[in-house]
Amino acid sequence: KNGITVDFFSGKRKIPRGLGDIIIKKKMPVLFACLVFHPTSTVHRYLGYIEPPVVFDCSIDEFNRVLVKKMEGFIRTYPDQWFVFHPEWIEER
């Protein structure tokens, strides 16, 4: 309810406000990462993808846009491995 509204794929969603506030104000490094299940692999059932750390020097709104774009990229690459706990959309385009 108290989050900020962002463009997410073809609609709008709310994301928590506090994460971007803390990261930008404290200039904390951010690691974008995801863990992917590979059921057919006999060696590695899970593969982790971790990007190098980034310290953002931008507005909180810009950080949140980057965060959402990274999430969209991971989800587009592995759409069958994404689950959202709060499926409601604010509006669809």
- Summarised one tens digit per residue, pLDDT across range 43-79 is 889 989 999 999 999 999 999 999 999 999 999 999 9
What distance in Å separates the CA atoms of residue 3 and residue 14, rounded to the nearest whole number? 5
What is the separation, in whole angstroms, between the first and last Cα of the chain?
21
Given this model, what pLDDT does residue 88 score? Answer: 66
Residue 13 has pLDDT above 70, yes or no: yes
Mean pLDDT of 16-38: 93
Query: pTM surpassing 0.85?
Result: no
Q: What is the pLDDT of residue 10?
A: 86
What percentage of the chain reaches a pLDDT higher than 70? 90
Of 28, 25, 20, nearest to 68 by C-alpha is 20
